[in-house]
Structure formats: C-alpha cells, structure tokens
Amino acid sequence: AQSVTQPDARVTVSEGASLQLRCKYSYSATPYLFWYVQYPRQGLQLLLKYYSGDPVVQGVNSFEAEFSKSNSSFHLQKASVHWSDSAVYFCALMNTGGLSGKLTFGEGTQVTVIS
C-alpha cells in the first residue's frame, strides 16, 4: 500500500530565512508527487508537481521541490520565506498505475513564519 509521511508536524522559521519541509513516500514505482498549501479557512492550493524528468521542480511563489528516488523523498524548499507563507503544507502522492487519480496525503506540516 502507498503512503506519505511528513515527519515534521510544526516548523517555525524567521521571515527571510530558508525553509525545508520533508516528505517521504512509500510506493512500488515512481509516483506522481505534489505539494499543496492550505491557508486558514481555505481549500488546497497546488504549489508544484512532479511527474518525471528533472528531479528539481519549480512551483509558485518561489517554492521548489527535489525528487529523490533513492531516498523516496520529495522535499519542499524556499530560499526566503515571507510572513504570508504561514500555512499548512501537504505532500501528496498519486498512484500512477490506477485509474482513479486518487491522492494519498501526508499528515501536513504547519509552518509559522515569525518576524
């Protein structure tokens, strides 16, 4: 069975500092991977996606993520955070062999940006 693990439930970072959010997955092949962000009282917004090819993918708002097959990871990074980046971030996996497009989500990481 597939799974996604985000080992850090909460991360606090100073404005202007760099941010890395960890995501580990378990899947028998190379999955499609996504990062979503959820602001308070909102739905999920897609930050970036990985299907294949270049392991480093760029997303919105200067976020990027790096896929590692050997480590089964898809970590999210941002070089310099802004207070508006405070939100919950979810890593998600899509089963490439299935027909439904169903997503499996990690537990989420609450990011708080302090001044």
The smaller minimum CB distance to other proteins, of residues 82 and 102, is found at: 102
Q: Rule CB under 8 A: choose which of 58, 68, 102, 114 binds other proteins.
A: 102
Element (H, E) at 88: strand 87-94
Judged by CB under 8 A, the residue of 45, 58, 62, 84 near other proteins is 45
| DSSP state for residue 85 in the 8-state scheme | G
Q: Which stretch binds other proteins (CB under 8 A): 19-27, 61-69, 74-82, 96-104?
A: 96-104
What is the C-alpha to C-alpha distance for residues 1 and 10, in angstroms, rounded to an integer?
26
Residue 40, interface with other proteins (CB under 8 A)?
Answer: no
Q: In this chain, which stretch among 15-23, 63-71, 77-85, 94-102 interacts with other proteins, using CB under 8 A?
A: 94-102
- Taking CB under 8 A as the rule, does residue 30 contact other proteins? no
Q: Are 92 and 101 in contact (CB under 8 A)?
A: no
| Identity of the residue, 67 or 90, whose beta carbon is nearer to other proteins in the bound complex | 90
Distance separating alpha carbons of residues 32 and 50, to the nearest angstrom:
6
> Which is it for the CA torsion 110, 43, 86, 21, positive or negative?
positive
Number of residues that bind other proteins (CB under 8 A): 23
Residue 11 touches other proteins, criterion: CB under 8 A: no
Between CA 17 and CA 113 the distance in angstroms is 9
